Chain A
Amino acid sequence: MTKEELAAYITENFDGKLKPLDSGRYDPLFEVEADDLLDVARALKEDENLRFDYLCNLCGVDTKEHFEVVYNVASVSKNLRLDFKLILPHDNAEVESVQEIWPAANWYEREMWELYGINVLNHDNLTRFLLPDDWDQGHPLRKDWDAPDFVRLPEGE
């Protein structure tokens, strides 16, 4: 399938759960609601023509208005790639864990929780592992995070 065929297939088969976004020259990008996440993920993995069985990346994004959780999935057998994301508000950001569908999500979600503070439900081991053992200064990759020895690049450089 080419990218356009893939985008068309997704739009007609996922009855509105995946909303297409402009992806420019990159892989097709869709937006999904937080409630539909598990259904969509399972369907993407089990669909006969898609078989997205490889989670390439799962990361958080902090734009100043909201959090995003971005998923990059690929199909090894069909040679397809797809990106989709969730938009979450800043307070009480929560997302379901997709580790039953893609086991690789386990550590990605742990990293996302550790650095952004986005809570992951049904995760079996949400503990700190990248930051130092005695870290008590919050979630560093948030845009409003600060620490005594954290120096921001001055504006205009």
Chain B
Amino acid sequence: MGLIKKVPLFTEKIPGGGLVLTTLETVLHQAQAKSLWYLLFGTACCAIELMCTGASRFDFDRLGMIFRATPRQADLIIVAGTITKKMAPRLRRLYDQMAEPRYVIAMGGCTISGGPFYYDSYAVEKGIDHIVPVDIYIPGCPPRPESLLEGCIHLQEKIKKQKLSDWQEK
């Protein structure tokens, strides 16, 4: 329904309406940012670092992030690993099958610009940002788990800065 799109129009007319909206936004963003469930999508070496970050020493669960196997239940996809030209349509299809609001983290050099495969490779897609819209880029080959956690925290900050109307289009 997305009736929430009409709420700003309604609340701005009444005095003190803006306060309702920002409180609502705060609550919703807190709920979203503190429970980002990510789609398990690891193709190459960055996937090992992703698994490592999800394990006990650098835990993802303390940020509320649990892995899901299906994009229908995920709101974040951490693209970890090299994406080849053959894999690119599948990545796009997975992104399309996620429900809004959805976010993408590009983890590692290969997803940012092709990484070490930028030169002399016929099969590697040089960066995923022409396949899916990326929110956070995490450089590294592979990025350390601390880098990945910092990237996720940046994403949480980004979510908290969004307006209610942004969600509806994403």
Contacts and interface: CB of A to CB of B under 8 A. Distances in A.
Instruction: Report A-B touching, CB under 8 Å.
Output: yes
B126 interface: yes
A120 B143 CA distance: 44
Nearest to A145: B122
A140 B119 contact: no
A150 B123 CA distance: 9
Contacts of A132: 84-86
A152 B119 contact: yes
A140 B120 contact: no
A150 B122 contact: yes
Max chain B Cβ within 10 angstroms of own Cβ: one of A132, A133, A140, A145: A132
Interface in A99-157: 131-133, 140-141, 145, 147, 149-153
B118 interface: yes
A153 B85 contact: no
B123 A131 contact: yes
Given A131-B86, A132-B85, A132-B86, A152 B123 contact: no
Given A132-B85, A132-B86, A153 B120 contact: yes
B84 to A, nearest CB: 8
Contact of A151 (B84, B86, B119, B123): B119
Contacts of A133: 86
Interface residues on B, range: 10 to 19
B119 A153 contact: yes
Contacts of B126: 149, 151
B86 A140 contact: no
Contacts of B118: 151
Interface string B112-136: 0000001111110010000000000
Contacts of A147: 122
Contacts of A152: 119-120
A149 B123 CA distance: 10
A132 B165 CA distance: 39
A121 to B, nearest CB: 26
A153 B117 CA distance: 10
Nearest to B117: A151
Interface string B69-83: 000000000000000
A61 B45 CA distance: 28
A141 B84 CA distance: 16
Contacts of B120: 151-153
Nearest to A137: B122
A147 B125 CA distance: 13
A150 B126 CA distance: 10
Given A140-B123, A141-B122, A151-B126, 14 more contacts: A131-B86, A131-B123, A132-B86, A133-B86, A140-B122, A149-B126, A150-B122, A151-B118, A151-B119, A151-B120, A152-B119, A152-B120, A153-B119, A153-B120
